[in-house]
Amino acid sequence: MGCAFGRRLLAAVRRAIKCLVELALHWLWGALEQVQDYFQKLAVFAIFVETMSKGNVTVETRDHVGLIGLNRVAKRNAIDLEMYHALALAYGELPRNPELRCGVLFAHGDHFTGGIDLAEWAALFRQGRFPDLAEGAIDPLGLDESNRLRKPVVMAVQGICLTIGIELLLATDIRVAAASARFAQIEIKRGIFPAGGATARLMQEIGWGNAMRYLLTGDEITAAEALRLGLVQEVVEPGKELARGRDCADGRLPGAARCASHAGFGAAGPDARRSRGAPPAAGRSDAAHVQRRCRGGIAIIHRTTCGEVQGSRARLLFGRQRGADQFFVVAGEDAAIRINRWNPRKLSFH
């Protein structure tokens, strides 16, 4: 009897020791993962600081807005591989910092960018690939669906904006241009392919015929023409584009819409982006349908990714949710109606 009790007691002690060992190992494994995660973040921060200290991309935080500036003025901000990596790391700071709601991409100097530094990129293009990015970096061209920025970005453009500059612009949400800005997708004149997404996104933004004209000819697009085509959303006096972009990001525009990083904005997947190329419902005019539902006057059309409309006289009418086009309509001094572009029967009132 005593021996049986002893055996049961010994078995119970063994089970208790086994449980304690398992708990200790589980705790130790969790602690090691935390330490590994800490050192990974530290390494990313070290790379970020080292890259930013070289000065080819500047990063500044003002309130809840991250300002990212191209800064290779002596080369007209031509984007070399080092600058591209720095820009990707700067984009990576936006999701890592919960205080940042929006980014503003701009350029120092007289010009936004003269394009890529082809001598550095040629070897990669021959291999048919883009450079591998560091841990924590985000592709500023938005080509990697698994590594896309999920917060809105405003872009302010001045001077010349060529090739990759337009492709950076097409990957942002709101674009403000100086009246003197000039755009051109000039790869066709160099015998190379626009590899940063222009061949797909330019058609989505300005229509097939317009896109083909500028992709196949390399013709220059003035700021006024870019506004007419919808490539940019506002044209301002030279020198005021950055301030206007910051106002948009900060929510200081008259009539008042604030950029928001709520879930769903800046995060639409490939299906939502493909919907931009779908035809509208047969026999229905989106614009006519909107006007019938609005009891007040229709304001100006403006393209943005604002998550909310504030104020009784807000002027925003048209919005873009990272590829999924939607209308934001303010009916006079009443509520706003949001209508999906390709299915105007689905209404939601705010």
Q: Catalogue the active-site residues.
A: 167, 187
> In a 10 Å sphere around its CB, with 0-12 CB exposed, 13-18 middle and 19+ buried, how is residue 6 labelled?
exposed
Helix axes 2-53, 81-96, angle to 10 degrees: 130
SS3 category, 175: strand
- Reading the block at residue 162, the tokens are 């060529």
**Residues ≥6 apart with Cβ < 8 Å to 143:** 130, 196, 197
Say if residues 318 and 302 touch (Cβ distance below 8 Å): yes
- Reading the block at residue 287, the tokens are 């614009």
SS3 category, 249: helix
Q: Name the strand (E) or helix (H) holding 91.
A: helix 81-96
Say if residues 233 and 301 touch (Cβ distance below 8 Å): no
- Reading the block at residue 222, the tokens are 């003035």
How far apart are the C-alpha atoms of 266 and 320, rounded to whole Å? 9
Say if residues 56 and 83 touch (Cβ distance below 8 Å): yes
What amino acid occupies position 275?
S
Tell me the CA distances in angstroms from 305 to 11, 236, 290, 314, 333, one per residue in order.
Answer: 65, 19, 19, 15, 21
318: β partners = 327
- Reading the block at residue 93, the tokens are 């700071």
- Reading the block at residue 123, the tokens are 């070897």
What amino acid occupies position 337?
I
Q: Kindly provide the b/e burial profile for residues 15-27, where b requires at least 16 CB atoms within 10 angstroms of the residue's own CB.
A: eeeeeeeeeeeee
- What does the CA dihedral 38, 44, 49, 50 come to, rounded to 10 degrees? 120
